[in-house]
């Protein structure tokens, strides 16, 4: 499990549970300023997906994958919509008006997965704790067989990279809140996604619909 993802995942819990509502400087690149108002926030999420939000390229679903692109995408959209709704309620800003939770940008990931580095080949995802945290970047090199002068097939993954998707969800015609208030919602959204086996690679960035 990559250390960077674990660190941010734990930090998300600490920030969400330990910081006062309305915190956040809004100084990140593209962030909505603390005192700017919007009813149409966009939450940019960089994350490693739950295995159930992925589907295989070879047609054989394993380790809890969805069987098809349609079912993987539906599972991911439902999870994000529920997480965003829960975040609004937890932050106390759900309101009583009618507004849309837009998850159109959320798509299932096509990737073959394994549960052990030994079984991985280049490009396969590595499942850990219900999340496709990494992909195999390079396999172990084969070794020469002196008698035949050929090589032994490589076995196992020698190097991995974080498996990160960059997607977004948004609220259309929601409550009119400041950037600081929306970042409070974003922190609750991070926790809700973590509880659904999505690991955040960075803090959620809050912008507004242009």
**pLDDT for the residue numbered 53:** 98
Within 8 A by CB and 6+ apart from 123, the residues are 111, 112, 135, 136
- Count of CB atoms within 10 A of residue 181's CB? 23
| Residue of 124, 110, 85, 87 lying closest to 165 (CA atoms) | 110
Q: How far apart are CA 6 and CA 126, in angstroms?
A: 15
CA-based angle 141:144:147, to the nearest 5?
Answer: 160
pLDDT confidence band for 200 (50 / 70 / 90): very high
pLDDT confidence band for 58 (50 / 70 / 90): confident
When the pLDDT of each residue in the chain is averaged and rounded to a whole number, the result is 83
The answer to whether 9 and 167 have CB atoms below 8 angstroms apart is: no
Q: Is 197 buried (19+), middle (13-18) or exposed (0-12) by CB count in 10 A?
A: buried
Give me the percent of the chain exceeding a pLDDT of 70: 77
When pLDDT is averaged across residues 78-104 and rounded to a whole number, the result is 86
**Model's pTM, two decimal places?**
0.81
Q: Per residue in 11-20, pLDDT tens?
A: 444 443 344 3
């Amino acid at each position: 499990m990559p250390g960077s993802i674990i660190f941010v995942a734990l930090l998300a819990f600490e920030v969400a549970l330990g910081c006062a509502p309305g915190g956040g400087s809004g100084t990140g690149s593209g962030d909505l300023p603390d005192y700017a108002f919007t009813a149409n926030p966009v939450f940019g999420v960089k994350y490693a997906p739950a295995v159930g939000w992925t589907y295989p390229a070879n047609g054989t679903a394993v380790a809890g994958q969805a069987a098809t692109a349609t079912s993987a995408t539906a599972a991911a959209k439902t999870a994000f919509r529920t997480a965003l709704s829960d975040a609004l309620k937890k932050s106390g800003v759900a309101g009583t008006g009618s507004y849309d939770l837009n998850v159109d940008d959320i798509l299932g990931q096509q990737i073959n997965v394994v549960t052990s580095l030994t079984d991985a080949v280049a490009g396969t995802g590595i499942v850990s704790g219900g999340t496709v945290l990494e992909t195999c970047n390079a396999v172990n090199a084969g070794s020469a067989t002196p008698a035949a002068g050929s090589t032994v097939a490589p076995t196992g993954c020698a190097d991995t990279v974080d498996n990160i998707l960059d997607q977004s969800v948004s609220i259309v015609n929601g409550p009119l809140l400041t950037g600081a208030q929306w970042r409070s919602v974003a922190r609750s959204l991070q926790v809700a996604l973590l509880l659904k086996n999505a690991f955040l690679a960075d803090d959620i960035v809050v912008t507004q619909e242009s």
